[in-house]
Amino acid sequence: MTDTAALAAYLHRIGASRPAALDSAALGALHLAHQRTVPFENLSIHLGEPISLDEADLIAKIVTRRRGGFCYELNGAFAVLLEGLGAQVSRVAARVYGGEGRLGPLFDHLALVVHLPDGTGPWLADVGFGAHSSYPLLLEGRDAQDDPGGRFVLTDGPDGDVDVAKDGHPQYRIERRERALADFAPTCWWQQTSPDSHFTWSTVCSRLTADGRISLSGRTLIRTSGGARAEQDLGSDDAVLAAYREHFGVVLDRVPVAAGAV
């Protein structure tokens, strides 16, 4: 993304100004702004909308249509923004830890390794993992890294991989090898279509807030603030659509319904 107008549109989408210099502070501000404005959501799966990993399609969905997405879309688009601002970005594959500490398949998640013009980092940037770090993490840091989202510890894994843990719980293992966005397409398709993919089980739309997180799952609106959790059942389609608009800026003409909820 080298077009000035396109960069300006993306920055406007996340409520950010173009930084005078893309240093670590600017990266952190963009990382936080993205998570506060662009929701983590899987609504396309339940609306019958095809998900494309073409970079132009990602920008059209997130910037022009003002939607969100899941990891491949959110981190895929964020990488384009950072590159347009002068960063060197590697798209890396990750295996997500599931139940009983088992690792999922490679390409289960897409994360970003960012090198900045100021020479800091490399940084692990991730705006597409749901409830994760508010700010980028130092990829080579092995001491605990405190973040508003929790205490993160990165440790060396086998074959040069890096394990990421949050508050003592393993999150995912990333490999250092750089990948093309197209490499994630088969797993992205599986996530959209397989009954074994948790993304097909229910709808989710979630974003970071100044004091916690707000999420809409099915017809339940969930607010977390200061460790407290409150749930509100939304009884009608109109109430659900209004919640998407009000809390996430997502305008829909019908309520997405997971197949298992029908």
What's the pLDDT at 259?
65
Give the Cα-Cα-Cα angle 189, 39, 217 (nearest 5 degrees): 80
The pair of three-digit structure tokens given for residue 42, joined into one six-digit string: 């899987």
Per-residue pLDDT of the chain (262 residues; tens, 9 = 90+): 668 899 999 999 999 999 999 999 999 999 999 999 999 999 999 999 999 999 999 999 999 999 999 999 999 999 999 999 999 999 999 999 988 889 999 999 999 999 999 999 999 999 999 889 999 999 999 999 999 999 999 999 999 999 999 999 999 999 999 999 999 999 999 999 999 998 999 999 999 999 999 999 999 999 999 889 999 999 899 999 999 999 999 999 999 998 655 4
d(CA 134, CA 144): 15
Q: What is residue 1's predicted lDDT score, i.e. its pLDDT?
A: 65
Domains of the chain: 185-261 (3.30.2140.10)
Within a 13 Å sphere around the CA of 167, how many CA atoms are in the beta-carbon half? 7
- Give me the residues paired with residue 228 across strands: 225
Whole-number pLDDT of residue 226: 85
Tell me what pLDDT residue 262 has: 44
Query: Is residue 126 annotated as a catalytic residue, yes or no?
Result: yes
For residue 179, the 8-state DSSP code is: B
Q: So what's the pLDDT on residue 3?
A: 84
169 classed as catalytic:
no
CA–CA distance, 18 with 154 (Å, rounded to integer): 30
Can 71 be counted among the known catalytic residues? yes
> Taking all residues of the chain, what is their mean pLDDT, rounded to a whole number?
95
Q: Which one of 71, 108, 205, 247 is the catalytic residue?
A: 71
Active-site annotation holder among 109, 163, 205, 247: 109
Catalytic option among 126, 161, 188, 247: 126
CA 136 to chain CA mean position, Å: 12
Query: What's the pLDDT score for residue 191?
Result: 94
pLDDT at 260: 55
